[in-house]
Amino acid sequence: MPQPMSDAVGAHCELSHPAFRMFCPVVFRRAETDGMPAMVVSLGDRLAVLPLATLQREFAIPPDSADGRMLGLIAESLGYVAGLRPGDPLPPEVWSGEASWSPEPRHLAIAGTRLRRNLLAAFGIERAMEADARLAGDAALRGAVQGAFERAADALGLSSRAEVLDLLEQLAGECAYIEALREALLPALGALCRRLAMLGADWRGDADRQETLGQVRRLAGIAHDHLVARFATIDAATAEVLGSLRSLDARRTMLRRERDRLHRTRRSFLPMLAEWEGASPVLDEAAWGRLARTYRFLAPRFMQVQEWERATAPRARGAGPVYGTVMQW
């Protein structure tokens, strides 16, 4: 979780070095070529894209100076916003640990239900998955649930069930972001995998394009499995509810770190997923273009390092590209 900033660094995009006032207008965004944080300035009818790392080196801005720390915050901010102009507020993720967006009420409900069920199961209430539905009409179950919360309060050194519920609510508030991101990422990526599996199922063409299609299908599957595993790891970290409530600050830090990682992942995936949503199932030239762009997005993220090196390394003279012209970078 971000540490509180010193008085020298504020919550807005502000740089004091005179070099940054030489250019106007200025916008900070990621370069389209390599995704590196950069300052973009207008030079007549052209745009100059100047990497922040290069600017910091050329202007001799120490990393621990106010401008050096601000450049670091600007670079980090570009994981959450498309661009920043001087004077813009920085996203709260980089300076307060809060989120710049909110989950829906249903995500909070899902997270709260999951935590309550895990807590009840830890105290031996059988069929905890059905406890919420049966609670209103079953006095014995209602008493068992109250007893479980009293035992939880004793285990946590708290004085009442209400304090346990308050801690559960705080933890659920952090987990709700994870539920929102799960809902935003996994169904969409699963739908892409199914769409790719059906695309050109009966197509028989040249080997290079056949290889392209197979590689994109495989990489999309790897991406989906990778995200499923990430969510499973987060779920496992909060499955033992008493331990999570006992070390709530540490769990909050972990959940916010994972929230921000997944939020950046979602933002990076959005253009690719949007391009496939509603796309024609016909394997035409437009589809081959989408496949090429999808490969360029997925390969550096999910291909094994050795395999990626082979895919991008020059081949012997006359041998041609590894995967054909569709996959050239």
Domain ranges of the chain: 18-94, 167-327
Beta strands at 26-30 and 37-43: parallel, antiparallel or unpaired = antiparallel
Averaged pLDDT, 1-21: 70
Higher-confidence residue of 35 and 138: namely 35
- Partnered with residue 26 across adjacent β-strands are 41
Q: Answer yes or no: is pLDDT of 252 > 60.
A: yes
Instruction: Tell me how crowded residue 159 is: count the other CB atoms within 10 A of its CB.
Output: 10
Higher-confidence residue of 307 and 187: namely 187
Angle (nearest 5°) at CA 147 between 234 and 113? 30
| Buried b / exposed e along 164-195 (16+ C-beta atoms within 10 A) | beebbeebbbbbbbbbbbbebbeebbeebeee
Q: Answer yes or no: is pLDDT of 94 > 50.
A: yes
The pLDDT confidence band at residue 121, using thresholds 50, 70 and 90, is confident
Q: Which pLDDT score is estimated for 20?
A: 82
Contact assessment for residue 298 and residue 227, using Cβ atoms and an 8 Å cutoff: no
Amino acid identity, position 102: S
Region of poorest pLDDT, from 19-23, 164-168, 177-181, 292-296 = 19-23
Contact assessment for residue 186 and residue 178, using Cβ atoms and an 8 Å cutoff: no
Q: Which pLDDT score is estimated for 313?
A: 52
Higher-confidence residue of 144 and 89: namely 89
Most confident of 31-40, 149-158, 198-207: 149-158
Q: Which pLDDT score is estimated for 127?
A: 55
Q: Which pLDDT score is estimated for 326?
A: 29
Q: Which pLDDT score is estimated for 316?
A: 42
Amino acid identity, position 88: D
Longest CA pairwise span in the chain (Å)? 80
List pLDDT tens digits, range 52-66: 999 899 999 999 999
Q: Which pLDDT score is estimated for 102?
A: 95
Q: Which pLDDT score is estimated for 1?
A: 46
Q: Which pLDDT score is estimated for 278?
A: 85
Q: Which pLDDT score is estimated for 144?
A: 79
Closest CA to 252 of 151, 181, 157, 176: 176
The pLDDT confidence band at residue 283, using thresholds 50, 70 and 90, is confident
Higher-confidence residue of 258 and 46: namely 258
Rounded Cα distance between 241 and 248, Å, is 10
Closest CA to 82 of 35, 129, 140, 44: 35
- Partnered with residue 30 across adjacent β-strands are 37
The DSSP-derived string for 46-62 is EEEEEEHHHHHHHTT--
Averaged pLDDT, 206-225: 90
Most confident of 31-35, 109-113, 202-206: 109-113
- The alpha carbon of residue 329 and the mean position of all alpha carbons in its chain are separated, in whole angstroms, by 25
Amino acid identity, position 291: L
Beta strands at 46-51 and 37-43: parallel, antiparallel or unpaired = antiparallel
Higher-confidence residue of 44 and 258: namely 258
Higher-confidence residue of 5 and 99: namely 99
**Residue 84 in 3-state DSSP?**
strand
Closest CA to 302 of 271, 326, 269: 269
